[in-house]
Amino acid sequence: MRRPSRLCGGTTSVCDIPNTPHPEARPAPASRAASIHEVRHYQGVASPHAASAPLLDGLCEVSALSAGMWLRRVDARDLHGASVRMPLRPGLHVALVVGGQVSVEAGGQRLRLGPDGEGAVRGLLLSAASPDVVLRESSRGDTERTIALHLEPPWLERHLRVGDGPGVGGFIRRHLALHTWQASARALALAAEMLRPPPMSPALWRLYQASRALDIVVEALGQVEGGQGGDAVALSQRDRRRMAEVRALLDGGQADGWSLSDIAARACVSVNTLQRHFRAMWGTTVAQYQRDGRLDRARLALERDGASVADAAWLAGYGSAANFATAFRRRYGVSPGQLRARR
């Protein structure tokens, strides 16, 4: 059940797991049990309602997924309109605004985040070498559906082991380095799953969210490492519409078994143009998008529906269960059988 949440120390949850406030936030009611969630403190700076009434109606929470990895989920409506000064802690910050519109300002740079008229979303990657502040501005009645990740410096050192050169290492070490990229349909689907996960135990909830968070982080950092920022290829409105239609074709399964030439002909472009524009729009190749989509459907069938490994392999387009298990483990870090056993 959704409950209104104060932006400052709220305790809202939609995943059947109650929240526990972060030490900086106001105490939650004593009746609430301990849980995996922790809500950090946000300070309202331009709203007369900030001190006395909830700012958002809906989900607004911050959760620790692992040591040094934090997840913030927002699925809410603004009740009053406010400018909110949000602490920017050292580390790497990744955000996807998959619904509504959000205006943010960091280091003198102002961005408007959220889906455009074609439904495309630009993800935000922001590095903080020292504590700072991000300003979030909104109007009364605005909605927001956001997944934001904070990777602390020890987590980055432990998992990335990057140097000071160009690419990821240089980006992480520059204070207020900012990068946007065209989020792939897969990243958007993962964000939607993170906002609305199925009911599960706290341990599985962490694993469920962390696995999806890592995939989004890999996509975001891959754009920096490969020098393929969201602005690397400027697509016209017609090109963007074509690539959105190609994605819908792939998502619907209509193009299963089609060759790249068939898909390119349907989009009225050459194969080379299809590949370049699809990667610029969605951050991956057509073939990889198809493979990832089939594996994602197989994973959901295992997690949610209790499908057998053989059925999941067929759903993913694999004739061999062994080949399916190899691809599945490479992508998700566990075997299909292990994932199914965790239900």
User: What fold, for 237-341?
Assistant: Arc Repressor Mutant, subunit A (1.10.10)
Give the pLDDT of residue 27: 32
How confident is the model over 169-205, as pLDDT tens digits? 888 888 888 888 888 888 888 999 999 888 888 889 9
Contact criterion met (CB below 8 Å) for 106 and 134: yes
Contact criterion met (CB below 8 Å) for 202 and 186: no
The CATH code that applies to domain 4-225 is 2.60.120.10
Is the predicted pLDDT of residue 225 greater than 80, yes or no? no
Using a pLDDT cut of 70, give the percent of the chain over it. 79
Give the pLDDT of residue 288: 80
SS3 letters across 202-215: HHHHHHHHHHHHHH
Domain boundaries of the chain, sorted by first residue: 4-225, 237-341
211, 248, 272, 284 from 185: Cα distances, Å:
17, 9, 20, 10
